[in-house]
Amino acid sequence: MSAALTLMQWLSPAFPVGAFAYSHGLEQVIADGTITDAASLQDYLQTLLAHGSGRADAILLAAAHTTDDVPHVDATARAFAASAERLKETDLQGAAFCDTARAVWGLDISGLTYPVAVGTATRAMAIPVSDTLPLYLHAFASNLVSVAQRAMPLGQTDGQTVLAALAPTIADTAAKAETTSLDTLTSTSFAADIAAMRHETLQPRIFRT
């Protein structure tokens, strides 16, 4: 199988990491009335990608792809999680990714956070990080658009319009992450981080995070 097809398989919604069960705090933001339509969703996701957890994941993935000290990158990812739910999300998705990659491709990985698992696996399969990062971020955004479509009135066409509009931000964030040091890992999407914390007590809710 070609590297491109492997990467598409790993980041497909069909890959069994359970991404559909996690809203990354978005369910709370929708419940608060902060996001009400396609425009506000696009603005929110653009902030996550350019300044928040999407950017952080890209930096962690790139670091895992280039380092010989994966445990250090993984420990950094865990320490950087802004809430218990964010940690659960990256931990459980990463563990599921590792389990499947180990069973199907024979990769010697286990128990890594999600972006670190993807970075480590793509390095092992000699898949360029420049190919991996945009697709990873697109999958990140696509899953959150899917969350919004289940949690608020948002049609399929509007969802795809949002994703298309995010393409330049995805490309820019991916390119910058390739050359960003792990030592400068930051996030400034504080409202999204707080929403992820508050989601722990949201009732009723349909997503795990």
State the Cα–Cα distance between residues 127 and 182, nearest whole angstrom.
20
Task: Count the neighbouring beta carbons within 10 Å of the beta carbon of residue 109.
Answer: 20
Please state the φ and ψ torsions of residue 203, each to the nearest 5 degrees: -140, 135
Cα 108 from chain centroid?
22
State the Cα–Cα distance between residues 183 and 196, nearest whole angstrom.
24
Please state the φ and ψ torsions of residue 25, each to the nearest 5 degrees: 85, -5
Q: For residue 142, what are its two tokens?
A: 């696509």
Check if the beta carbon of residue 49 is closer than 8 Å to that of residue 165: no
Closest CA to 19 of 79, 67, 90: 90
DSSP string, 6-41: HHHHHTSTTSSS-GGG--TTHHHHHHHTS--SHHHH
- Angle at Cα 146 formed by Cα 90 and Cα 47, nearest 5°? 65
pLDDT by position in tens, the chain (length 209): 588 899 999 999 999 999 999 999 999 999 999 999 999 999 999 999 999 999 999 999 999 999 999 999 999 999 999 999 999 999 999 999 999 999 999 999 999 999 999 999 999 999 999 999 999 999 999 999 999 999 999 999 999 999 999 999 999 999 999 999 999 999 899 999 999 999 999 999 999 99
State the Cα–Cα distance between residues 87 and 43, nearest whole angstrom.
24
- Angle at Cα 43 formed by Cα 190 and Cα 41, nearest 5°? 100
**3-state secondary structure (DSSP) of residue 124:** helix
Q: For residue 206, what are its two tokens?
A: 């349909």
What is the pTM assigned to this prediction? 0.97
Please state the φ and ψ torsions of residue 206, each to the nearest 5 degrees: -115, -10
Is the dihedral angle over the CA atoms 89, 92, 97, 100 positive or is it negative? negative
Q: What is the reported pLDDT for 1?
A: 59
